[in-house]
């Protein structure tokens, strides 16, 4: 019997088979969850539908998280289909290409607002809309990148600021929802070659550097993140909330980054 047997799990932010959301979807399927998938826009439908079919997912909905009425309609549709929800996954982030290539101080006002609205406020809005439909003991989780939120990751710019706000929101939501026995956590994954990562300047170098420097000397996969998400979604993590779980081969623990093959003097 799977760890998520009988649980209803919704995953927001699936884009394609390289998405972290896809790694989570596959892991949830393996552990017996009833799945629901939401994607960002009509353009993604042709990529998402075949993936949903692969995992036998019957509830597949478009949701533009910048529109409150669409979020409300999505929550109502999910409640009608599933009844109560046990797991809510937020795998949504966006920043304009300009914001990820120019210096941070050149971030535009609109670019800043857009990044924070889509990457952070959407978690608050989704949690608020779904709260009446969440079972006691439900698990809400989001995806962050701690190395860009609490430290500087060159070129990550406004996304780093958005992730810092997302991590803070995780803690405030955990506090608010705790009395209802609903927990809220974030997973901080190491760099993964996703559609979102493609927009970050210098990503290829960062990806290689990560594997050279991290204690485990290897990159992280969407399957690794999926397995961590299963833990946070399952009853095994019943007393864990407001936390940032790093799935990054230990990279975040390194202070001074040196070439591990360099000869000591």
Active site residues: 145, 156
**Which segments of 10-149 does DSSP mark as H helices, in order?**
20-30, 45-54, 68-82, 109-116, 122-130, 146-149
Q: Is 260 helix (H, G, I), strand (E, B) or coil?
A: coil
Residues 6+ apart with CB under 8 A from 193: 18, 203, 207
> Does residue 175 contact residue 183 with C-beta atoms inside 8 Å?
no
Phi-psi sector, 47: left (phi>0), alpha (psi -120 to 50), beta? alpha
- The H-or-E segment that residue 242 falls in is none
Cα distance between residue 48 and residue 34, in whole Å: 17
Cβ-contact 86, 139 below 8 angstroms: yes
């Amino acid at each position: 019997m799977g760890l998520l047997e009988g649980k209803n799990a919704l995953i927001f932010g699936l884009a394609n088979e390289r998405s972290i959301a896809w790694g989570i979807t596959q892991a949830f399927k393996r552990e017996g969850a009833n799945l629901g998938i939401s994607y960002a826009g009509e353009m993604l439908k042709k990529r998402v539908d075949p993936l949903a079919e692969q995992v036998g997912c019957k509830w597949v909905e478009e949701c533009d998280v910048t529109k409150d009425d669409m979020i409300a309609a999505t929550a109502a549709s999910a409640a009608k289909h599933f009844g109560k929800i046990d797991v809510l996954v937020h795998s949504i982030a966006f920043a304009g290409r300009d914001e990820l290539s120019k210096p941070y101080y050149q971030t535009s006002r609109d670019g800043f607002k857009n990044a924070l609205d889509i990457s952070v406020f959407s978690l608050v809005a989704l949690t608020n809309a779904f709260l009446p439909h969440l079972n006691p003991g439900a698990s809400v989780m989001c995806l962050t990148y701690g190395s860009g939120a609490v430290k500087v990751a060159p070129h990550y710019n406004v996304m780093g600021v958005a992730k810092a706000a997302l991590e803070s929101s995780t803690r405030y939501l955990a506090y608010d929802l705790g009395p209802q026995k609903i927990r809220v956590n974030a997973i901080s994954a190491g760099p993964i070659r996703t559609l979102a990562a493609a927009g970050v300047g210098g990503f290829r170098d960062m990806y290689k550097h990560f594997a050279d420097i991290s204690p485990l000397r290897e990159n992280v996969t969407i399957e690794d993140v999926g397995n961590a998400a299963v833990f946070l979604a399952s009853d095994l993590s019943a007393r864990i909330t407001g936390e940032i779980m790093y799935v990054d081969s230990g990279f975040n623990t390194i202070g001074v980054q040196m070439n591990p093959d360099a000869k000591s003097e």
